[in-house]
Amino acid sequence: MGKILVTGGSGLLGTYLKKNLPKAIYISSKDYDLTSEKDVIKLFKNSKFDRVIHLAARVGGVHHNIQEPVKYFEENILMNTLLIKHSYKNNVKRFLGVLSSCIYPDKIKKYPIKENLLFSGEPHKSLFPYSYAKRSMALQIDSYNQKFKTKYNYIIPCNLYGEFDKFGEIQGHFVGALIDKILKAKKNKKKSIKLFGDGSPMRQFMHARDLAKVISIIIKKNMTESFNIATSENYSVKKIANIALQACEFENTKLIFDRSMPNGQLRKDIDIKKLKRLIPRFKPILLKDGIREIYLKKKEGI
């Protein structure tokens, strides 16, 4: 496998990946500012790498994306562009970029969404800056492969969750924020929880630990294909909330939907036929079991 660099090493996905690829070098924003070309040059000057797994990103929920569009565009576009540029300049043989299913077009005639539809329309307006920055990484990787015959690739995962996620209502992702709301409601003996939107959007959620397993397989098998990664579970936000209430032993709680807040993209489920062909034995944890596991750990203060 050679010497591996992993950016975003202290994040949700990076924390899980350490268990699968313990010998890799993991860096975070405390080590290098990847939006600074000076720092990126310094990174590659300090060490030589055979592979780069690029996890680092400015990420957050829909509402924080709406609040901070400049940060989500500029920070991601700079990190991605500089990492790929200087990976190539420093003879990195394999580069794996991690994108997101939100970069797919908002208007699609047929679901689930296949990989070849990535550039067939605009992404949802609520995530425009983040989505276009991530799309640009796919385009840059494809361009380097075309021009320089590199074997760089990217994966497009669905929404993630995990015990190392951000759990705040604004900056956190939906499942993490939902578990946090349930814990606080139980502690304060409330009989209801409020969620943004009307509960109708459809979502796929994968435990970040499972995505880390897939990444380790990609590296160990030296795979160079780009493809979607998700579970076959595709539920409405309302159903996910009810699954979480049951998993967190809070079934009799009333769900209140704040319809004054935006829903975000109504549907973005992605096709996983290529994933099943490439890694046929991969079996992700069920959403109800993953939420239950995280709930119990947070409840116990682990």
| Catalytic annotation, residues | 130
Residues 257 and 249: their CA atoms lie apart, in Å, by 20
**Where does residue 225 fall: left (phi above 0), alpha (psi -120 to 50 degrees), or beta otherwise?**
beta
User: In whole angstroms, how far apart are CA 23 and each of 145, 199, 266?
Assistant: 27, 42, 40
The alpha carbon of residue 33 and the mean position of all alpha carbons in its chain are separated, in whole angstroms, by 20
Per the DSSP assignment, residues forming a β-bridge with 192 are 254
Residues 54 and 31: their CA atoms lie apart, in Å, by 15
Residues 183 and 193: their CA atoms lie apart, in Å, by 10
Q: Taking Cα atoms as reference points, which of 51, 98, 105 lies closest to residue 79?
A: 98
Q: Sort strands 205-207 and 159-161 into parallel, antiparallel or unpaired.
A: parallel
Q: Which residue has the tokens 């079934």?
A: 251
* Number of CB atoms found within 10 A of residue 160's CB: 24
226 Cβ partners below 8 Å, 6+ apart?
Answer: 115, 138, 141, 153, 154, 155, 156
The alpha carbon of residue 210 and the mean position of all alpha carbons in its chain are separated, in whole angstroms, by 12
Give exposure, 79-108, as e/b (b: 16+ Cβ within 10 Å): bbbbbbebbbebebebbbbbbbbbbbbbeb
